Structure 1
Amino acid sequence: MSMCYVMQLSKIKMASSVGVRKLPQYLKEIRILLCQRSSSSQGVRDWVEKCYVDLKKQNPAFPIRVRECSGIQPKMYARYDFGQESCADLENMNSQQVNETLYKFADSKPQ
């Protein structure tokens, strides 16, 4: 195996694990809605491809629901203790912005 190939593999592995961490217990569920084809959902689709698997590996029992529906605007919902919910519009965000939105939900414990 060439050294170049090994370096590329390690870069891919490092990039995929950047920003993945345990989600707090007061956060009960994340729901993501997206369109399979619209350009406004492209960043969400990219996030699912790049980040979802690593996030699930780090949080195997945590429910992360990804729902596709034609023609809808992409959104993320966070459900907390006592049924409290927050929502964020993901329209035209890139995958990094989607990840940041998820961790904003994780960092903001409702009162």
Structure 2
Amino acid sequence: MSNSHLFLKSGFPKAPLQNGLGRYIGQLKRVTLKFCKESGASRGMRDFIERELVDFAKENPGVVVYVKPRRHRTPVLVGEYLNGTREWINCRNFTKEEVTKWLELMRTQSGPSGALRLRKMWHTDVPSIQGPWTPFTLKSPETNLVVFPSEEHSKPLFVEKSATEKLIELFQKQKLEDGDLDKNRAK
């Protein structure tokens, strides 16, 4: 195992507010467009702000848009998401169309998709090479073709006798043994 995972950001997996179970909630909550008013590297960002920013803000009322001019700095898109993550995109020498595409990507995703070293609540010194166990690991693949509800699959796998049934069985065994003893004594 290499040590490259030590340099990755670590954290627990976060679900984006159960999106898809009810109505869709856009995960991008704030976007900041930082640019220079004079630099040639910011030309695409300035064109986007002049021509398309108002339309973007009208189409996406759930996203707060900030415009921040900065002198002699590289243009940057900063997106902040509902799960608390931030994403920075360097827009140096981008065209207006490229800025639009990156902003649309930020709007439709639920946070930075960068590598994350997942942390777990458990640890083992000898991890399994077979992968994690699931309830379906040892199931027969024939169950995929069964039409449910099914009589055969509704039965419990192990039918254990109740305590009353066990007592009745023990009593009858004892009764038979006593009957055999009485026959042996009579002989």
TM-score bracket for the superposition, by shorter chain length = 0.7 to 0.9
Partner of 1:59: 60
Greater fraction of residues in helix: 1
- How far apart, CA to CA, are the structure 2 residues paired with 1:70 and 1:61? 29
CA RMSD after TM alignment: 1.5
Secondary structure in 2 matching 1:82: coil
> How do 1:20-99 residues align onto structure 2 when only pairs under 5 Å count?
25-99=26-100
For residue 81 of structure 1, what is the amino acid of its counterpart?
L
Give the TM-score normalised by the residue count of structure 2. 0.45
Q: Runs in 1 of length 4+ with deviation above 4 angstroms?
A: none
- How far apart, CA to CA, are the structure 2 residues paired with 1:85 and 1:62? 14
- State the identity as a percent: 24
**Structure 2 unaligned blocks of 5 or more:** 1-24, 114-187
For residue 98 of structure 2, what is the amino acid of its counterpart?
Q
Conservation of the 8 A alpha-carbon contact between 2:78 and 2:86: yes
Structure 1 position 107, deviation (Å):
2.3
**Equivalent residue pairs, number:** 88
Q: Which has the higher contact order (CA 8 A, sep 6+)?
A: 1
Conservation of the 8 A alpha-carbon contact between 2:44 and 2:99: yes
- How far apart, CA to CA, are the structure 1 residues paired with 2:100 and 2:71? 22
For residue 59 of structure 1, what is the amino acid of its counterpart?
N
After superposition, what is the alpha-carbon deviation per residue over 1:49-103, rounded to whole angstroms, capped at 9, x for unaligned? 1101111222245310010011010000110013101110000001000000101
